[in-house]
Structure 1
Amino acid sequence: MSNATIRSNYIYLAELYLPPKEAVLNYIDNGFTKPPREAHVILIRGGDSKPNVLEIVVGPLPFPNGYRLVPYRPQPIPFFQRPITSIENISQKLKERINKEFGKALHDLYGGPRLFDIRFQGQRIVYEISLQELASFYSGYKPTEQNFRFFDSRFLLGLRAKYLMHGVDCPNDATYMSTYFLDGSSEIPVYNSRAFCVFELNTGLPLRRHHGYSSTSSHRFYEGMVSVVLTVRTIITVFNYDYIIDFIFYPTGGIEVKVTVSGVIIAAYHGRKNPYGFEISKHLMGLIHQHLFHFKVDMDIKGKYNRFETIDIENDAVSSPSYTYSDSNIQQLKFARKLKETEKEAAYKHNFKQPKNLVISNNYIKDKFGNTPGYRIVNKGMTYNIYPPGTRYEPGITWSRYQVAVTRRKDNEPGSSSIYQTNKPDEPIVRFQDFIDDDENIVDKDIVAWLTMGFYHIPVKEDLPVTHTTGESLSFFLLPFNYFDENPAMASRNAIRIDPIDIEGKTKSLKVERYGVVDDINCIPPKYNYEQLMKRNPCLVVECLDSEKNNRVKSHVFQEFRWQ
């Protein structure tokens, strides 16, 4: 691959191929044979008589003996829609010349993820949560700016998640996880030693609390619980922007998925007053743009056969003989359950005039009150895409038409975007709207929720030199909805209960219950000189070069640091 040209056949990417969900569940739940481990391989075939891109499944690993076409990509991709690789980038000599002439000025100016089989108390809540696409679309008065559009998945997001900085990107007591990828720039797998970090975090906000301080209206007591969450974090750097992706797990059984943005803005020459950006430095402007994030959430609530419904909150006018005002009706709230039977009905566009809860539940199971166990989807990062349908790049992001969409799960619809979207987004290889347009029945089926988050960014002077994370976080939550008999966090020991001790009508002392947790002991991370470790092993934090070939180091000879 190191000697490949645009007219060569070579491997662009090799990664793990996910077996069918049914085979996975039969293995982990029913004791069936483990599905074979296979690789998903993308071949760029520039040397063929009719050049194209082909996706195949190779296996079984580690000693493959055959291959087959990827089921959901049975036809070759046209060569003009191939992802652009380092083979086609500008030459190293040109890069060196640019760095020599402009490197100091640029330095002075500016200074990946999928989770599977998520369980709570031994029961599967989610089969898969995965980032599908990071996209951004810019505007301007010059042609170059007008054509700035980025589908970041084409840059292989997994390769962009690395070099997490100890004590800054992740807490001092975090544990790090590594990843391997094979891309077209090397024949050796890429080893990302710090692609993920895992840590527990005290949020500083009580998970619950109540203070009954009045002796006349209720018993006097205080009860509260520390909110400690488990966080899995990765940070994806795609050229100028950094995306902090957090998967956060609460002791209530709730799950939060959060995206936070930092990095440097794309700047352009400000030659005149225009509606596309402020002049934030001399002759410099930041371009107005929209960030969009899309996630796949395959929930399995008490099994894989679920339904989607909205709990619509409506006005209720009822008469009451005790109501003495001129209007004889009392205005109050009620809710109505609205089952969504098909995919088109389940494509949700937010309407503030019709508040509602979005719930995925299992209708085959009911508690003693007749309630069905479910989880509620709460999208706190909703955005509205103002591009008219079918215009400009919109066909490549038809998922952005909906804040939440629910479809029938299919192995041939594994993702809402692809690495081929950028080259011809008006005729995308993956068109998410097709997932909806066949309008299949989704009642008591294996279903998937697709969530869109995003925001509009008009850069200002405070975005120089780096955009800070304050106020730049978006989240969606998966929250229990009649799933448990009570809040499962009640079983946690991170709580405190205080009751007064009264003797002869006077408060003499307090009874403090900490449920076996000693109050004067805190877990303190061991001291470690991380700067010395970085100096001895620079590849933990920067991309290392081979001194002889001036190429990126691809092997995994550098050992990651692990807490003992």
Structure 2
Amino acid sequence: MASLNKVWLTASACVAFLFFAFFASVPLGQTVKLVLFRSPPIFDTNQIQASRQNIWADLSENETDEVLNFLYSKSGLNLTETSQATHRSNRLMLIEALKPNKTDALAYINGTSGPPERWARVIVVEGEGAPGDVEQAVYYMVGPLPPSENTKALPLEFCYNSDRNYIASPVPSPTLLNEWVLSSLGNNSDVVRRLLSDEAGSIDPLTLNATGRASFTENGTFSLWLQFRQPGGKSSASSLLPQGLYVKIEIPTVNPSTWRMLQWYYNNILYDSIYDLKGAMKSPGFEICPLNRDGDWTDTVDLTKGDPGRQKPPPLMVQPQGSRFSVDKQQNFFSWMGFEFFISTSADTGVTLHDIRFNGDSVIYELGLQEALSHYAGDDPAQGGLEFLDTVFLMGLRTFELVPGYDCPAYATFISTTFNQQGSSITIPNSICIFEYTADYPLQRHTADSQVSVSRNTYLVVRSVSTVGNYDYTIEYIFYLDGSIEVKYRASGYIFGAFWPSKGEKKNEYGYRVHDAVATSMHDHVLNFKADLDVDGTSNTLTRVAIEPVSLEYPWDDKQTTPRNTMHLVQHPVDMEAGIDWPRNSGEMYIVTSENSTNIWGEKRGYRIQPGTGMGTPMHLSILNSTSLGKSAEWSSRDLWVVKQKDTEPRSASHLNYFDPLHPLVDFSKFLDDEEILQEDLVIYFNIGSHHVPNSGDIPNTLMHTASSSVMFTPFNFHDRDPSRRSAQGVKLDLEADGTKPEYFGGRNEKSVQLKATDMEPDLSKYGHEAIGWANVSWFDVLVGR
């Protein structure tokens, strides 16, 4: 037995349990290599100069260097360079721009002051002198920039309503915990070998991953349920390859002497100890579950000839005369068909848009992702309480390079993003794409007796893709010719499968069988976004305009002896901060109006908030008072929220909420404090997502058109007429002339276009040939198997 344990521990590097890599210290300076391809940026757009500075802009390379020099030499934080640090050192984890308070930003935009001071947001992992030998991730704000004698490193506290600016690790040393788990598993490797290996050698227990589901309790106990998974030989399909053995680790204190490997779960039977399991294994009736083997069924592509017609290339969009939007590359400012907006990025949430205007009028001050939640349900210890708050994995840092011609049209404009993590700059080339596209349906059409008119439906897309372990989230902001703005998500990737045991009757209570020993696992995806609407200014009101049935008598209805059954509109102004769900039968309209601004017809100018073009009505979390989430995602309980804008509430979540869900850094429930919101500066937090019940069609990957959701902001009496008449391209056909007479409006293609093959199918032979160093980005990366 001793030699078997030795073999297990020798191969322990294959056990993926590096707990809290955000705190990891063995070795802290080591980086993994992320291979990316940097193709030349495509900027054939019209060049313009923004009318003002992008005050939300990411830190420049020079600014980042200046902040680094200040932090190491003058901040008083006693930082040790990452390559030299231990888990008892203070070390730098992240530097990025701290967005200005809206009050200061509006003063600049309105011309009453200069640009706001520039500050940086910094995260430091403090191990030196940490209470109880437990490291803490601490937020600081550094500024004003550029550094001078007035520059300081101050605790960043104003944006967190928890009365603190730090999160502590549940364990004194992630490395120590990793070693403890490996040692404990090694002592019981005979059990693992018997239950999870086969004679054919298709599954070797020494190569399995041990992934965990964390649980936090009010009394301070931290525990993990570990499940074994096969890593996936041909792909990253580990989440499809669970094995049916689970073990519980309990960590009541930071003292390793109190850590225990407690219950084991196998074939729908809970064993109180390893001794109970070993005793059961010796009994005559003990049943060994089938193994979940990898194979061709997890491959995402079929390279055979395939179905008839597959060998012909599909139809493609082209951009025959170049792009039609304009850009200020220095300011990340974009202009298209009356729209103007700035772009910034963040390591945790990715792309955010700022100061969105249409034909010069303010519409949305800020529009961007806040958090992405997935919550599972199941009857085994892993799926039964599994949940992810994906910004903890730094979704901005995981906006990998897009594939031209596939993720985005070949003619798209690509933008690279740069972040600073552990004191090193990380550039992700071509991680955002911007392009125009024409839909396969018209924007407008009508056939009359004497004419036919039809307009092409062209729109602008800002797109990025965040790959968070097993899933890829495509997030896009879409701008339409009439002034509408759509926020949309699509998901693809490997589902988190559950093990299909041989014992007990399955009733499809949580999912469906999709392979020999794999079942799907129902879950909710809920993505929270912030829309700080400034509809023609900051004094706005949200009104619920209800479509209600009614019985009324009319003076002109003299032959009707009873009231006429009809319907009418009823206005319900929302006068207090509130959470709202989409109405049954779409029986209400939610409209944000500027009460003191009207169009030419005297109607209040507004923007309507409504479900967009996804699979169905956007949703919220199905689980009530989630045991796993605690108070870390209170925003997920309703479809949308309306609150009063405050500089002290810039985000509905913190990306570190995951690590203290019962006492999160940002508790969204505190945002609603019974304030009146009539004619106030309103912020809408809204959710998009899907109730995902995977089936055989999700194998090997979920398809994007089956997992999409969106919300739209559409003008409502905001204009005097449809503004797209000035920007749309189309044709009017005069049917009364001698022969049909076409009259075109807007530009059209009148000349032949010469296209190269690469205009339609870009050369991808160099994709993945430029390596960029990338350190671990999350405390929790491998704990949850991501």
Bin the TM-score by the shorter chain. Answer: 0.7 to 0.9
What amino acid is aligned across from residue 452 of structure 2 in structure 1?
Answer: Y
User: 1:396-445: CA deviations, max 9, x gaps?
Assistant: 22112221211001111111111122223233222211111x11111111
Q: Give 3-state SS (helix, strand or coil) of 2:597's partner.
A: coil
What amino acid is aligned across from residue 250 of structure 1 in structure 2?
Answer: Y
Cα deviation, residue 77, structure 1:
2.0
Q: Give 3-state SS (helix, strand or coil) of 2:598's partner.
A: coil
Contact 2:689 2:709 in 1 (8 A): yes
Other-structure match for 1:24 = 105
Other-structure match for 1:236 = 466
Q: What is the TM-score with the length of structure 1 in the denominator?
A: 0.86
Contact 1:6 1:88 in 2 (8 A): no
Which residue among 701, 704, 708 is the counterpart of 1:473? 708
Contact 2:642 2:684 in 1 (8 A): yes
Cα deviation, residue 120, structure 1:
1.0
Cα deviation, residue 67, structure 1:
2.1
Is 1:528 the equivalent of 2:758?
yes
Is 1:182 the equivalent of 2:182?
no
81 and 361 in structure 1: CA distance in 2 versus 1, 3 angstrom threshold: farther
Is 1:401 the equivalent of 2:637?
yes
Q: Which has the higher contact order (CA 8 A, sep 6+)?
A: 2
Which residue among 302, 307, 322 is the counterpart of 2:536? 302
Q: Give 3-state SS (helix, strand or coil) of 1:359's partner.
A: strand
User: 1:25-48: CA deviations, max 9, x gaps?
Assistant: 222331621112221111111223
Q: Give 3-state SS (helix, strand or coil) of 1:433's partner.
A: helix
Q: What is the TM-score with the length of structure 2 in the denominator?
A: 0.62
Cα deviation, residue 2, structure 1:
3.6
Partners of 2:606 and 2:754 lie apart in 1 by 38
Q: Give 3-state SS (helix, strand or coil) of 1:365's partner.
A: strand
Partners of 2:605 and 2:392 lie apart in 1 by 39
Partners of 2:570 and 2:545 lie apart in 1 by 6
Kindly report which structure 2 residues correspond to 1:266-277, keeping only aligned pairs within 5 A, or say none: 266-272=496-502, 273-274=506-507, 275-277=509-511
Is 1:385 the equivalent of 2:466?
no
Contact 2:534 2:540 in 1 (8 A): yes
Partners of 1:31 and 1:264 lie apart in 2 by 52
Which residue among 99, 102, 118 is the counterpart of 1:37? 118
320 and 114 in structure 1: CA distance in 2 versus 1, 3 angstrom threshold: same
Cα deviation, residue 134, structure 1:
0.8
Cα deviation, residue 222, structure 1:
0.7
Contact 1:357 1:377 in 2 (8 A): yes
Contact 1:9 1:48 in 2 (8 A): no
Which residue among 139, 150, 155 is the counterpart of 2:388? 150
Is 1:163 the equivalent of 2:401?
yes
Cα deviation, residue 319, structure 1:
2.2
Structure 1 residue ranges without an equivalent (≥5): 214-219, 503-507, 555-564
Contact 1:312 1:355 in 2 (8 A): yes
Kindly report which structure 2 residues correspond to 1:453-472, keeping only aligned pairs within 5 A, or say none: 453-472=688-707
Contact 1:387 1:394 in 2 (8 A): no
* Percent pairwise identity: 28
Contact 1:390 1:426 in 2 (8 A): no
User: 1:190-234: CA deviations, max 9, x gaps?
Assistant: 111122100000011111111114xxxxxx211111011010000
Task: Give the aligned CA root-mean-square deviation in angstroms.
Answer: 3.2
Which residue among 709, 717, 726 is the counterpart of 1:482? 717
Partners of 1:486 and 1:249 lie apart in 2 by 18
Cα deviation, residue 313, structure 1:
1.3
Other-structure match for 1:77 = 166
Is 1:192 the equivalent of 2:428?
yes
Partners of 2:746 and 2:435 lie apart in 1 by 23
Cα deviation, residue 143, structure 1:
1.0
282 and 431 in structure 1: CA distance in 2 versus 1, 3 angstrom threshold: same
Is 1:342 the equivalent of 2:428?
no
Kindly report which structure 2 residues correspond to 1:368-379, keeping only aligned pairs within 5 A, or say none: 368-379=600-611
What amino acid is aligned across from residue 455 of structure 2 in structure 1?
Answer: M
What amino acid is aligned across from residue 363 of structure 2 in structure 1?
Answer: I
Is 1:136 the equivalent of 2:344?
no
The higher radius of gyration belongs to 2
Partners of 1:87 and 1:19 lie apart in 2 by 40
Kindly report which structure 2 residues correspond to 1:52-451, keeping only aligned pairs within 5 A, or say none: 52-63=136-147, 65-70=151-156, 71-73=158-160, 75-80=164-169, 98=207, 104=233, 106=235, 108=295, 109-111=298-300, 112-184=350-422, 187-213=423-449, 220-272=450-502, 273-274=506-507, 275-320=509-554, 328-344=562-578, 347-352=579-584, 355-380=587-612, 381-389=617-625, 391-393=627-629, 395-436=631-672, 438-451=673-686
Contact 2:599 2:718 in 1 (8 A): no
Partners of 1:121 and 1:470 lie apart in 2 by 33
Cα deviation, residue 470, structure 1:
2.0
Q: Give 3-state SS (helix, strand or coil) of 2:392's partner.
A: helix
67 and 513 in structure 1: CA distance in 2 versus 1, 3 angstrom threshold: same
Other-structure match for 1:561 = none
Contact 2:605 2:716 in 1 (8 A): yes
Q: Give 3-state SS (helix, strand or coil) of 2:565's partner.
A: strand
Contact 2:155 2:165 in 1 (8 A): no
Partners of 1:531 and 1:477 lie apart in 2 by 32
Structure 2 residue ranges without an equivalent (≥5): 1-81, 184-205, 210-229, 237-294, 301-349, 778-786
Farther-moved stretch of structure 1 (263-272 vs 353-362): 353-362
Other-structure match for 1:538 = 768
